[in-house]
Amino acid sequence: MTKKIEKWDYFELELRATAPGNPFLDITLEADFTHTDKSVRVAGFFDGEGVYKIRFMPDLEGSWHFVTHSNLDVLDNKSGSFDCVAPSEKNHGVVGVINQTNFAFSDGTPYHPVGTTCYVWNLQGEALEKKTLETLKEGPFNKIRFCIYPKRYTFNYNEPENYPFPGEVKEKWNPQHQDDYSPRPHDDWWDYDYFNPEYFQHIDDCVLALRDLGIEADLILFHPYDFGAWGFDCIPEKVNNRILKYLVARLGAFRNIWWSFANEYDLFQNKAIYEWDRYMKLVEKIDPYHHLRSIHNCRGFFDHSKSWISHCSIQSKDLSLIPKWFDEYNKPLVIDECGYEGNIDRDWGNLTGKEMVHRFWQGFSLGAYVGHGETYINPQENLWWSKGGQLQGDSTRRIAFLRKIIEEFPEIGFSLIKPTSPSFIRKTAGCGIYPEIGLHYFGVHQPSFKLINLPEDGTWQIDIIDTWEMTITNAGSNFSGLCRVDLPGKEGIAIRIRKN
C-alpha cells in the first residue's frame, strides 16, 4: 500500500548500513524526489546505530517518486514512491515573506508572528520541558526563539543532560568568566568529527512538539554565551559548515523551522562579518524549502539589506525607529528583543507588564512585529526567558488580546499592518488624514478627543480599545469626513477604524 503524506508534512526514508570509517565524514547520501516535471535533491544524514535517514517535505499533491545516491552500495539506488495528499485544517505550510514587509504561509494564510524567547527550554529535562509546552499551549505565542547549543549565563548555570558532540566536560566552569566573551576553545574535550545523534533527536522532538501546537521554531544556530563553559562559541568554521549541513538535512523538512544564525552576533570576538555571510549563503543554497533566515544584534545592526537575509531580527528598546528601519531595509521587521518583563537586576530584564504591552502595541501599530520575554525571579531560578516553565507576568493575557485583534481583520488582510500606516505615535497633534484604514495607537499620550478626516465615500465604524483593561467600546458606526472621536483621556488607548 502506497504511503500517504500530507502536503507540507514530511516523508522519512530510513535505511540501515554498517561500514568502516566515520559515517558523518566518509558516507555521502542524497535522494532525488520527482513529481511530474519537478525534481528536488535533498541530503540524508546519519542518525546513529547504523541508521541513515532522508527527510523530504512535499509541496505538490499527487505521486512522488524517489531514488537515492550514495558512495556506499547498500544505500545507493534505493527507490520508491508515496502519495502527497491535501493538508489537514491546521497545516498551512511554510512561513515566507509576502508583499515585501509581511509574512504568509505557503497557502496564502496571513501569518503575524507573536513570539517569545525561551533560550534553552529544550535542554532542561523532561519535566520542565513538558511544563513549558503546556504553558505554550495555553498562551498567545505562535513563534519561539531557542538555541541549538547549551547556554551559560546568569540564571542558567546548570549543565545539559546531553551534548551535541561526543566527549566530556573536563573541568568545572569558572564563574569569573561571566560576561567575558573572549573565546576559550576546548577542542580536546569534544570530537568534532562526530555528532551526537541523541542530542539532535531531542531537538527533532521539540520542533515537532511546537509544530503540533501551531508554533514556529526560530532556531538560534550560534550564540556567544559560552564563557568558556564548553567552547561551542569558537568551533572551527569547517565544523560549523558541517553542522549547518547536518541541521538542514535533519530539520529542514519540518515546516515550522526558521533559521536564526546568531543571537547578538556582534558579541562574538572571533567571527568576522564575511563568516556570517558565508554561513547564511550556504544555508540559502542547500535548504530546498527556503525557510526564513535572519541574524540578531546586540549593539550594531547587521546589514539586513543583503539578499540572503529574509527579514530583520532586531534588538532595540527604541521602537520609534521602526519607520526608519522600513525605509532602510524594506523587509519584515521582527523586534525579537525589546526588553523583558521581570524583576531581575539587569535593565533589560525588569520592565513592567504595562511597558511590555505598550511596546507590543507601539511596534504592531507601526507595521512591525514584536517579541516577548519574561525574567521574574523564582526560588528555582527557572526564568521563562532562559529555561521556560511557567509564565508569571501581566503582559501575556494582553498580548493574546492584541493578537486576536490583529487576526480578526480578514477583510483587510495585509493592509492592516504595513509600514506606511499612519500612527498617533508619529501624529500627535492636529487632524490626521488616514489613507490606510486599520489600527492606530496613542501610546503614552492621553487625549480626551481626536479629530479624524475619513474618506467620504462611505461610513466608518470606530472602536476605542483599552489595551490594558482589554476592552473594546464602539464609538459609533456612521463616521465620515471630518469627525470628532471622544476618548477616555488616559494612556494605552488605541482606535480601530473599519469601513461599513
Residue 235 belongs to domain with CATH number: 3.20.20.80
Give the CA distances from residue 212 to residues 87, 156, 462, in Å, rounded to whole numbers and listed in that order.
Answer: 14, 28, 37
Residue 69 located in a structural domain: yes
Could you give the angle at the alpha carbon of 498 between the alpha carbons of 492 and 500, nearest 5°?
Answer: 145
What secondary structure letter does DSSP report for 261? -
**Nearest C-alpha neighbor of 63 from the set 2, 1, 10:** 2
Residue 406 located in a structural domain: yes
* CA 362, 112, 496, 393 torsion-angle sign: negative
Select from 55, 85, 115 the last residue of a domain.
Answer: 85
**Whether residue 241 is found in the same domain as residue 362:** yes
Residue 78 located in a structural domain: yes
**Whether residue 185 is found in the same domain as residue 320:** yes
**Whether residue 401 is found in the same domain as residue 442:** no
What domain range includes position 21? 3-85
Cell readout for 448 is 480626551
Give the CA distances from residue 89 to residues 92, 112, 327, 371, in Å, rounded to whole numbers and listed in that order.
Answer: 8, 18, 37, 26
**Whether residue 56 is found in the same domain as residue 181:** no
Q: Which residues lie closer than 8 Å to 410 by C-beta, 6 or more apart?
A: none
**Whether residue 180 is found in the same domain as residue 256:** yes
pLDDT at 254: 99
**Whether residue 77 is found in the same domain as residue 100:** no
pLDDT at 1: 74
pLDDT at 389: 97
* Residue that has been written with the C-alpha cell 530584564 in this structure: 349
* CA 381, 385, 387, 391 torsion-angle sign: positive
**Whether residue 430 is found in the same domain as residue 363:** no
**Whether residue 329 is found in the same domain as residue 274:** yes
**Whether residue 343 is found in the same domain as residue 431:** no
pLDDT at 367: 86
Please identify every stretch of the chain with a pLDDT value under 50, giving residue numbers as ranges: 411-436
Select from 414, 431, 448 the last residue of a domain.
Answer: 414
pLDDT at 437: 59
Residue 166 located in a structural domain: yes
Residue 471 located in a structural domain: yes
Q: How many helices (H) and strands (E) does the chain have?
A: 8, 28
**Whether residue 48 is found in the same domain as residue 169:** no
pLDDT at 409: 67
Select from 381, 414, 447 the last residue of a domain.
Answer: 414
pLDDT at 454: 84
pLDDT at 456: 86
Q: Could you give the number of structural domains in the chain?
A: 3
Could you give the angle at the alpha carbon of 251 between the alpha carbons of 74 and 68, nearest 5°?
Answer: 25
pTM (2 d.p.)? 0.95
